[in-house]
Structure 1
């Protein structure tokens, strides 16, 4: 075992904050998990007529620090340490087990499952007590669910995709913990106060904050196949946000986020202050802009926003489990080998990619939450669909995991994105891309085209009983006029459409790609993700108005800007 461990660690570069390998037997949490799993598996394997064929534990050892400030004062200064546990129990066989999708109007296929808090101290008896307790609950719940699955299967129509429920995996042994960084609290207290002061002179900013968060998460994974994995990540995020309301009742906000894996890689306070000045000017211009009317015409989605676009519109639809789910729209399930976008575009997802240029990628990980090594998954090659994001739930013609089974605490794992990357062989410089946009505007006989600079997420509908469409909220964009008038900021619009039609309208891309870092929510919880894409020029896209409140702006100015009211 030691030889295997050494080989694995030699081929994996050491990360910032990662602790050198140490013999796993020195880790009390890992040893408690292995001991209780062995005891439980031996006893429960044949305890009932329906056999236990797989048991897995995943523990999350998390250390967090956060500080926030508003108007020059600290609002939060918080340090936390916690441990949580997930237990995965599979009853039956890989062909049919308790996780099988239930069918029918009354069926429930929630991925929610009970998680337990573990002691943060390394008392073996206390650790094993919680492991035993949650294992018992999960085992009984799985037995009950398996009986329901068999009954449901006997009274409902046969599935189109008859793939197994689970793919057995090879055992993996790996040990590399991340270490929580030293945080100079006084330094960041002072920095947060100073930066949050910058918003005070502006009476149109009703709420603004600066926040630093540092999280180190070490995941412990052991299972009945023999895997013993400890792997960690550190996430550092500094962000500021500002909010206003227009006279017609529309809430507007701007957020700027800096992501890293270490405190020393954050930008300087001078750089952040300069970005704040630009953001304040953008919000001020948006506030006085007329609300956008529905539009259909040429649209240029700039790089960072394009990454979010690919994530929402394409990535979720290529998650493997959706291809066999009777509840899913299965947009791409039967399009393997067919073109789904222009041939100059290719897309892959690679959780093992640590950086894009100098930018840390939040979607990086060594092993997924099912104990499978992270792997590059080629999804689209020269416009042709080649594959899907796969966890250990097989689908027709794709039986193996490519290391994308992910979840947050208290959820069952499903296939999810890590680092989604789009690349192009047909590119233009930013200057030429803008010129091409103007050409398309004139060709379409439109007064202007739209440039989308930032997107605040959105949603994509994949359920079969709803339209297979998407809507993403544009938080920053502007009109580019065909007659040469100055660009104008826009507010109050969503990009909308359907994926198959939208991808066919990509004409050309930019020659630079910026990374987007975020946190994605789906049925298996919230997971850190990244997306990288060049800017995308569409011959036509459609927008709709956003929902807005009818509330007026505050009657009085903020007290620190109200010179008349004092």
Structure 2
């Protein structure tokens, strides 16, 4: 989408929002007091190859709209529980989220009209249900108001999306995937590139307009290794960036795949442990995952308005929640980060405006160990509430406060040798046979609702155990788990070389891109538990080109 087209579509959407606000007035029902459209225009490219041959090469366009229709007033409207659960695919409006990809005005107007009418009727029904619910149950946060009234904005930013050379990338993934032929124990594999060009057009009934474009490039090589004993070990070589210039060249990527395949052979030969309780040294990406799961999701402000949430830190403002040498903030305005070696990396969690049309800002969450704030959108979570521009969603889900560019900083960073020695010291003090070092963890999950146990899990890809005499050996078969307060209160040291993890994060409002920057962390006590593990039988006859052993 070019700038001229974006401006034209934004004008059409603005006119329809004003027309709807004037026209949607039904006697006996609360008025439509606010309406916004977030139109997402998507140019998607996906190419996949296996064992040196293309399997898929697709490019397609899509366009959808997140419509927010609110009835009542800024003090009280139909939204309950901070909007966390306004994400049903069974709603009538879900059928109308997709918009025409042509740029003709009449089809777009009709698409917006159909979506808006359904959203309005659903909002009125939700308002009546809320009134009925409150005949029995008390809304303890009603005094905070429903929606922050914000000044109008007008930011018609540039649309600057890098070109996609499909011929180059189809040849790239094809040649990269051929490396797998060198490793017959890798029984399944693929190399894939996904490109997502996204242009956001935000307008609302107050007269705001914001235009912003994003580009996401995700290059992955998936390897599924089957050992002779039947142990299946998956591995992913992944690069996720907003800038294709930061993706590796073909030779470098082929080298990464070869290194991963050789590493899988070592992991398969490593001893399997089933449980552990004791000190753990988490390298930067793994440490960032711990902070993201144990702390970050619990600082999402919308959760403070949900009756079913545990609200772990609701009463902790001003209290010590981390060691005094750690500071945590989330700044989506940060576009790039320079690592300790001087290399610059793009941040996929960067944006200028959130999905409620609020300018992004640096949310100061924890200062020198003390909790100072939450990630917030326009849903009030305290008196004199001000959004810090962190409300986002994936598609049809109501946007909620989410992490963007999460940065954990230390005022007392220690080098790798010191961190490792402190791990050994803890092992000796606790009389344990070894300590654990988490070298890589790529995903996790957590439960934040009051009904479930307050716990989190990190998917460990690569770990080792460190013995009191300094020896270190790889281990396999475990994930790290814990309860949030015990885990973060157990942090006793941080490293001096932070690392970056660009990834997708899932929550009630869908999957959104996030960036986490963190140093390594030493935790006094963390638990490991067995992965779900069912050994496989060997294939009935050899792969082509493989000799039967």
| 274-283 or 32-41, larger mean C-alpha shift | 274-283
Contact 2:329–2:364 (CA under 8 A) maintained in structure 1: yes
Superposed, which structure 2 residues align to 1:133-532 within 5 Å?
133-159=114-140, 162-246=143-227, 250-357=231-338, 358-397=344-383, 399-485=385-471, 487-532=472-517
Give the secondary-structure state (helix, strand or coil) at the position aligned to 1:119: coil
Task: Say which of 519, 525, 542 aligns to 1:557.
Answer: 542
Secondary structure of the corresponding residue to residue 363 of structure 1:
coil
Secondary structure at the aligned position of 1:500 is classed as helix
Aligned counterpart in structure 1 of residue 43 of structure 2, from 50, 59, 63: 63
Q: SS of 1:483's equivalent?
A: coil
In structure 1, what is the equivalent of residue 341 of structure 2?
none
Deviations 1:96-131 (A, max 9, x none): 21112399xxxx944336252211111111110101
Q: Secondary structure at the match of 2:516?
A: strand
SS at the partner of 2:180?
Answer: coil
Q: 1:31 to 1:305 in 2, by over 3 A?
A: same
- Structure 1 residues 57-80: Cα deviation after superposition (integer angstroms, max 9, x where no partner): 111100011211110011111101
Secondary structure of 1:389 counterpart: coil
Asked whether the 8 Å contact 1:59–1:84 carries over to 2, the reply is yes
Distance 1:293 1:341 in 2: 29
- Of 242-251 and 260-269, deviating more is 242-251
Q: 1:9 — aligned with what?
A: none
Residues 351 and 375 in structure 1, CA contact (< 8 A), matched pair in contact too: yes
Question: Is the contact made by 1:180 and 1:215 (CA closer than 8 Å) also made in structure 2?
Answer: no
Shift of 1:145: 0.9
CA 1:47–1:71 in 2, change beyond 3 Å: closer, same or farther? farther
The normalised TM-score by structure 1 is: 0.91
Q: Please identify, of 452-461 and 131-140, the stretch whose mean Cα deviation from structure 2 is larger.
A: 452-461
Corresponding residue number in structure 1 for 2:519: 534
The answer as to whether partners of 2:30 and 2:124 remain within 8 angstroms in 1 is yes
Deviation at 1:54?
A: 0.6
Deviation of 1:214 after TM superposition, in Å, equals: 1.5
CA contact (8 A) 2:34 2:205 kept: yes
How many Å separate the matches in 1 of 2:538 and 2:78? 53
Partner deviation per Cα, 1:374-410 (whole Å, 9 max, x = no partner): 1000000000000000011111346111000110111
Q: 1:248: Cα distance to partner?
A: 5.9
- 1:199 match: secondary structure: helix
Query: SS where residue 201 of structure 2 aligns?
Result: strand
Gaps of 5+ in 1: 1-17
The normalised TM-score by structure 2 is: 0.94
Equivalent residues, number: 539
**In structure 2, how many angstroms separate the alpha carbons of the residues matched to 1:410 and 1:385?**
32
Distance 1:445 1:395 in 2: 46
Change in 2 beyond 3 A, CA 1:424/1:102: closer
Task: Work out whether residues 245 and 552 of structure 1, in 8 Å CA contact, stay in contact via their aligned partners in 2.
Answer: no
2: CA distance, partners of 1:219 / 1:48: 36
- Structure 1: how far apart are the matches of 2:82 and 2:446? 23
Distance change (3 Å), C-alpha of 1:125 and 1:160: closer
Question: 455-464 vs 239-248, which deviates more?
Answer: 239-248
Indicate yes or no: 2:55 matched with 1:75: yes
Query: 1:332-374 deviations in whole A, cap 9, x for unaligned?
Result: 0000000011100010000101111111111000100000001
Q: Is the 8 A contact 2:328 2:366 kept in 1?
A: yes
Q: Give the Cα–Cα distance (whole angstroms) in 2 for the partners of residues 503 and 127 of structure 1.
A: 49
